[in-house]
Amino acid sequence: MASKNYYNVTEWKVGDPYKDIGEVINSIIADIKSRQSETDVNDGGKPGALIYIPAGDYHLVTQVVIDISYLKIMGSGHGFTSSSIRFNTPESEWKDWHELWPGGSRIIVDISSKPGEEEQMGAAFYIKRNGNPRISSVEFSDFCIDGLHFMDDGLGEPNPENTYTNGKTGIYIASAQDSFRVTGMGMVYLEHGIVIYDADALDIHDNFIAECGNCIELRGSGQASKVTDNLIGAGYKGYSIYAQNFGGLLVAANNIFPRGASSVYFSGVTRSIITSNRLHSFYPGMVVLEENSSENMVSSNHFLRTREPWPPMQAHNNGLDDLYGIVYISGSNNSVIANHFSEIIDRQYIVPEGVMPVIIHIVSGDGNYISDNHIVATTESSGVPADMISSCFSTQVANLMVGEKSETLGVVTVMVEQGSVRNTILDSGTEYQVEMNKSLNAFRATPVPAM
């Protein structure tokens, strides 16, 4: 027996999903609500439904509005491919490419917020419901949301496709919710990938969210959620992962690409964990604990700071200098333990000129615990073969490889500002690499091997 609660967008009786999948999905949601109107029938009554999007290209002209629980929207593949590489390749070469655009189950967002409008107006999927209980168990799985193009932002970027600005959002959740899941998704060329307010038991797992102005933004407040096993990379204006007023957030096992302004930015976040991530950035401020973010653990991550190697993007940065720190802490009782830091940059690219870059920077708060971090700081390797700088991919691979001709770079491994006291710094820098008031903080230097 076929289930009445399974819908295929290509078989639905209302609208044309290829021209406006938003109209089709809204009609399906209206049908679910009309059929599932009773709240208590045989200890149930509103099981929700699954909406299936087969592989194909679907334009979205009408915003999808979701106000029911237990809804899963599922496709047949995240379909991600790099739009940034395409738009920074001469168009004359496109004719020889195997494919040009993202694929899989691909939703092309044809709406955007206009200047002066609220940002949610440009969201492909808008989720909001008031009253009790909170909306629960809405899932997005295995399809692509593509913003298609960025636009001129008036800031002088010669290629509008590199601005990360277009007023488009993939998924916008505006009200408190419980146990939402975003898994296996692809998101590309959106100003905001995922925006979620007041999340509880949220699961963002195994997605490919890149070349977006901002990737994941957890706003308002939240608790007991996780962002795990994702491939993520925001633009130079925004955040790869941002969390505000959160407690109990797990950020683990993500591979976070450059060139986000911050890889992970915590604002007023407490008792949360950043662990086992691989983080790569072209700018300082990779992990920021701001607004009294306290009792967090940053452990067992690999940090790599390099210079932007790809010519089309070398003019951009996040506005921070090298005194800011790779990890910036404004809060108390945080633990930064057993991380590996690689600062690989030539001296002429350090800002301000002539300073020693700061790796871990404690600006305010007290009782922070910094222990057993390994810091490697060198200049870039020289003599990269010409055939390794012929494309974005090979250029960035060459940038990652260890070279034999690099030189040691002087850095401040830990800097503790005068307003921060009672911190403990152990085995995270030599006597000469750590700058702090040693009468107000505890310190044990990393032993220096005999020559």
Query: If the chain, 451 residues long, is cut into consecutive pieces of 10 residues, what is the mean pLDDT of each piece?
Result: 88 98 98 96 94 98 98 98 95 95 98 94 98 97 98 95 97 98 98 98 98 98 98 97 98 96 98 98 98 98 95 93 98 98 97 97 98 97 56 58 76 97 98 97 93 68
Amino acid letter, residue 346: D
The CATH-assigned architecture of domain 53-444 is: 3 Solenoid (2.160)
Q: What is the pLDDT at residue 406?
A: 82
Q: What is the pLDDT at residue 3?
A: 84
Please provide the DSSP assignment of 187-256 as one string.
EES-SEEEEEEEEES-EEES-EEEEESEEEEEEEEEEEEEEES-EEEE-TTSEEEEEESEEEEEEES-EE
CA distance 368 to 450: 30
CA nearest neighbour of 361 among 345, 378, 375: 375
Torsion angles phi and psi, residue 436, rounded to 5: -170, 165
Determine the 3-state secondary structure of 373 from DSSP.
coil
Contact 162, 185 (CB under 8 A): no
Contact 376, 431 (CB under 8 A): no
Q: What is the pLDDT at residue 381?
A: 78
Q: What is the pLDDT at residue 449?
A: 84
Q: What is the pLDDT at residue 401?
A: 61
CA nearest neighbour of 401 among 417, 429, 382: 382
CA distance 106 to 143: 6
Q: Which residues contact 261 (CB under 8 A, 6 or more apart)?
A: 234, 235, 236, 237, 238, 239, 283, 285, 318, 319
Torsion of CA 17, 114, 173, 130, to 10 degrees: -100
Amino acid letter, residue 440: L
Number of H helices and E strands in the chain, helices first, is: 3, 38
CA distance 16 to 10: 8
CA distance 256 to 238: 13
By the 10 Å C-beta count (0-12 exposed, 13-18 middle, 19+ buried), 421 is classed as: middle
